[in-house]
Amino acid sequence: MKTTIKEVAKEAGVSISTVSRVLNGRDRVSRHTINRVREVIEKLQFQPDFVARTMIMKRTSTIGLIVPQLSNEYWALMSEVIQDELWARGYTTLICSTDNEPDKENAYLRMCSERRMDGVIYCSSPHYGLAAGEQIEALKTAGIPLVSLDPNIAGVSCVIGDHLQGTYIAVEHLIRLGYGRIAYIGGPAVSIEREFGYRKALMMHGYTVDESLIRVVQGQSFADGYEGLQSLRASGIAFDALFCGNDLLAFGAIKAMEEAGIRVPEDVAVVGYDDIFSARLFKPSLTTVRQPIQDIGQELVQLLLASLETEPERRTVRKIVIPTELIVRESSGSGQMKA
């Protein structure tokens, strides 16, 4: 049986309220009593019951974190950063990996309100966000503060990577190197903004966007990249550079080129997005756009905690955009002089 505050009180010869007071340290207790109680606590190995405490205090000191997939390096890192940050500020993080299943996401979101999370950080991708709309509303109704990585949820503060700018600098990098026929392979959802960045870069540099160089594929995986490139090749269109919506897509595309005898970067320069761990190891090492996960995570936490410490009526909705960084490696080549 666990030791309770009652036993401590009896053993120390004081009332439970006194024990509670030394536990919480806000009310004043005589030095002498404090010491005596502390001793007993030590001796009895007493640990206050967090659950009971929670019930009264009406706060769990726990934040729910919803991510699409823990086995995805990006989300794993994000989770770690957020957990560390929250831990440092006295919160426990309940990490929930939805595996991109809307049902699971709903269930987890629901759990967050049942279990009285103090707040929720929602990092699921917009693509799947639709199904969660109801639960998100439920959280809001329950008065649970929420921040998100998805800018498309009304009335919810968010922190986002600047995908448009990220893609812009990536494509601009290719343009500066002298490549003129830059193809694009991207997935759905968030990648939309990356496509815009691609278009913007071309336009700002006086190029016309050739729609036949653009491939919007089904998913975000290696296989999708492979297919995207097949499709590009099948159309017979010529290109000397390629921007991919993420690193995995880039790996897949490079694989397809390799099989077709196209050399990277000699024949086609490639740039990815995300800077996943393998990007450095891959051969050729991948030029890519790095998202400052650390910064994003910290901002999310700050935003949420700020919300927690503000009365509901005075809370404001913020949208914070974090700049990205281009990491130049081998795959984008050393440039190419136009004939």
Q: Which does 103 bind (CB under 5 to 8 A by kind): DNA, a second copy, none?
A: none
Closer residue to DNA (CB): 49 or 99 = 49
What is the C-alpha to C-alpha distance for residues 183 and 110, in angstroms, rounded to an integer?
42
Site track 170-189 with a second copy (rule: CB under 8 A), x = hit: --------------------
Closer residue to a second copy (CB): 55 or 204 = 55
Closer residue to DNA (CB): 45 or 71 = 45
Region from 12-20, 32-40, 112-120, 176-184 binding a second copy, contact rule CB under 8 A: 112-120
Closer residue to DNA (CB): 29 or 77 = 29
**Of 80, 210, 295, 330, the one binding a second copy by CB under 8 A:** 80
Rounded to 10 deg, the angle between the 102-114 and 126-141 helix axes is 20
What is the token pair recorded at 226?
Answer: 């492979």
- Minimal distance in Å, beta carbon 83 to a second copy? 6
Site track 87-106 with a second copy (rule: CB under 8 A), x = hit: x----x-xxxx-x----x--
3 state SS of 271: strand
3 state SS of 79: helix
**Of 26, 32, 141, 313, the one binding a second copy by CB under 8 A:** 141
**CB–CB of 75/44 below 8 Å?**
no
Q: Which does 17 bind (CB under 5 to 8 A by kind): DNA, a second copy, none?
A: DNA
Residue linked to tokens 């974090």: 322
What is the C-alpha to C-alpha distance for residues 122 and 162, in angstroms, rounded to an integer?
18
Q: Which does 57 bind (CB under 5 to 8 A by kind): DNA, a second copy, none?
A: DNA
Q: Which does 135 bind (CB under 5 to 8 A by kind): DNA, a second copy, none?
A: none
The residue ranges that bind DNA (CB under 7 A) are 2, 4-6, 13-21, 23-24, 26-30, 32-33, 46, 48-49, 52-53, 55-57
What is the C-alpha to C-alpha distance for residues 206 and 338, in angstroms, rounded to an integer?
16
Rounded to 10 deg, the angle between the 31-44 and 5-12 helix axes is 120
Closer residue to a second copy (CB): 97 or 157 = 97
Q: Which does 87 bind (CB under 5 to 8 A by kind): a second copy, DNA, none?
A: a second copy
Q: Taking the alpha carbons of 77, 79, 84, 89 in that order, is the dihedral positive or negative?
A: positive
Q: Which helix (H) or strand (E) holds 203?
A: helix 191-204
**CB–CB of 105/131 below 8 Å?**
yes
Q: Which helix (H) or strand (E) holds 51?
A: helix 50-57
